[in-house]
Structure 1
Amino acid sequence: MLNRVILIGRLTRDPELRYTPAGVAVTQFTLAVDRPFVSSQSKEREADFIPVVTWRQLAETCANYLRKGRLAAVEGRMQVRSYDNNEGRKVYVTEVIADNVRFLESANSANREEGSYSGGSGGGYGGGGSGSGRNTRDQQQDPFLDDGKPIDISDDDLPF
């Protein structure tokens, strides 16, 4: 069985950071994800509004760096939970429990990818930095910087 979700969309509002009674951080936000087709009636692209929940360090990182309107990629699992509301009716909630969030825009939207953070061990925040040093670093990491130009590779560099 597999329960894996990958979404790319824009936040509809700033993330909401809370703490459980045990002191565990939890953040909730909604991601607006465009549908891959245009509505035949209104001739406009429609979107789905998907609730996302993050926990622990990932929750605090999202609350600190994500804002309304920012583009983000979310990886996680779909979860359906239920509770009884004040009227005694059972309410079902479907949400994505994220274990990895990538920030696809910086605060000034000048960069394509700001960084990412994975929840759990082994993950790390990859963003940070600003100014001219940032542009140099991006150029060194851009694998398509010399797109279309020949690459100088000697036979010793090839693994076969």
Structure 2
Amino acid sequence: MKFYLLFLCINIYFLVLVANEESQKKSKDKLERLHVGVTKRVEDCQKRAEAGDQVAVHYTGKLLENLEVFDSSEGRRPLEFKVSSGQMIKGFDNGVIGMCVGEKRKLKIPSAQGYGSRGSPPKIPPDSDLIFEVEMMKIDPSHSEL
């Protein structure tokens, strides 16, 4: 009986140890900040997107964890929005600032700058880091009112 109890305790100890290592590994894999990578540069950039500009982009959004596509503008019209107006998740807004028409970027967005602990069910689970491949199609500069 003592041997059985000792065997059970050792197994429980190792299960807890493995679970803790998995938890630490997952937390290490989580993004802490926005990563912006330029995948196609534009030689002669006339205008860079900035806060307040109306822009149009093509995009593909994926979950970082498994690279599953959750949304894309492929086969549709480009997505239009006003930069830094709150229409888009924070990481997407920040990731397109400074882009030129024709430029392509890959954005790795941490959950905190994406959909956070709420996610966007059913396609985006809570606390999901995201990847967006973005191509700038159009920039209409903001016009400040006098």
TM range (shorter): under 0.3
TM-score (structure 1 length as normaliser): 0.21
Higher relative contact order (CA 8 A, sep 6+): 2
Q: Which has the higher strand share?
A: 1
Which one has a larger percent helix, Structure 1 or Structure 2?
2
Structure 2 length-normalised TM: 0.22
Structure of larger gyration radius: 2
